Amino acid sequence: MKLYALIMAGGVGTRFWPRSKEKTPKQFLKIFNSKTMIQNTIERLEGLIENENIFVITNRIQKDEIVKQLSNIPAENILIEPFGKNTAACIGLASIFIEKLDPEAVTLVLPADHIIKEKEEFHNTLNVAAEFAYKSKGLVTIGVQPTRPETGYGYIQIDEREVEEGIYNVYTFAEKPNYATAVRFLESGDFFWNSGMFIWRVDSILNEIKEYLPELSEGLQKLKESFSSDDFEEILDNIYRKLRSISIDYGIMEKSKKVFLTKGKFTWSDVGSWEEVYQLSQKDEQGNAINGNIYADMTMDSYVYSPDKFTALIGVDNLVVINTKDSLLICRRDRSQDVKKIVEHLKVNKLDEYL
């Protein structure tokens, strides 16, 4: 059994505006330490997967920055999607490149922008999932034990009877719930946060794509037949234009009869909003998480980022303030999920200089 990793790194991170832009999205930012989120993701795999077996899939706009930040990853392992078509196409495309190297490769599919602590426990979880995926040809996802009624995550319900040690059958996937439903999920004990991390043999996922997403499978087959063609990039563009945009969750995981879960017993966050950054950050006696040249008087429980400009706050609470060279965001912490609406507004009004 040989392990490979696929890092999905093509997102824009619209809820992290104005720090996250098209050319410098969330995964390229230093948010919690001196390394960027994608660098931390790669570093987390040390001791588990060799660098030559790590693949990163991204887009043309972000390729140069990825090559710059991940100089230890072979350049040929940086795969480029011509257009964003959601995670099913992304995973399918990368899978045929990995299949070419090893048809029975066990692939760990990981987002580039998560926070995970307890590296040893993370490795243990991945090893359990990988061994089961290899021998069973099943699709394994990692579920995280909820610690609060979170409405920003999807959930997975399991059968608590183990298939084998550490592996459970999946009953159902649930979309991001409202608060009352999230409380019910938390109290039930058999719902887990959907981490968006997957482990499977490359032949297993390609077979499931063939069964449940035949149009994508046909496109991938044409690409495989064109690997050595001088027109490969043009063929890739033409095929991608016609693909349906669908997530691996909708397209495969919610339909397949071969889906299993292993519990991730490590600290995890997908860092999906500035509120999440606030929760994960160190705070002062007033409950403020502050980064930059900032004056805060009678201000409590706020996240303030302003490394380039002096920023002053007086008599305000529970705010997110992000002050960059060209933009300023001020919002209530409990509305931080709505930051993506700003990006939509900028796109509609063609204010591309702020994107």
Query: DSSP 3-state assignment of 211?
Result: helix
Which sequence spans correspond to the domains of the chain?
Answer: 3-269, 274-354
Report residue 323 as tokens: 């002050």
Report residue 320 as tokens: 């997110």
Nearest to 48 by CA among 133, 99, 139, 122: 122
Q: Would you place residue 6 in the very low, low, confident or very high pLDDT band (cuts 50, 70, 90)?
A: very high
DSSP H helices in the chain: 37-43, 60-69, 86-101, 119-136, 179-188, 202-212, 214-225, 232-242, 248, 274-280, 340-348
pLDDT of the residue at 201: 98
Tell me the pLDDT tens digit for each residue of 156-193: 999 989 999 999 999 999 999 999 999 999 999 999 99
Share of the chain above pLDDT 70, in %: 100
Residues in the chain: 355
pTM of whole model > 0.85? yes
Q: Would you place residue 27 in the very low, low, confident or very high pLDDT band (cuts 50, 70, 90)?
A: very high
pLDDT of the residue at 257: 95
Asked if the model's pLDDT at residue 21 lies above 90, the reply is no
* Cβ atoms 247, 87 nearer than 8 A: yes
Asked if the model's pLDDT at residue 200 lies above 80, the reply is yes
Q: Left, alpha or beta for 287 (phi > 0: left; psi -120 to 50: alpha)? A: left
Nearest to 31 by CA among 20, 42, 15, 47: 20
Instruction: Please state which CATH class domain 3-269 belongs to.
Output: alpha beta
Sheet with 289-297, strands from edge to edge, namely 289-297, 303-314, 319-323, 328-332
Q: Find the distance separating the first CA and the last CA of the chain, reported in whole Å.
A: 43
Q: Would you place residue 79 in the very low, low, confident or very high pLDDT band (cuts 50, 70, 90)?
A: very high
Tell me the pLDDT tens digit for each residue of 124-157: 999 999 999 999 999 999 999 998 998 889 999 9
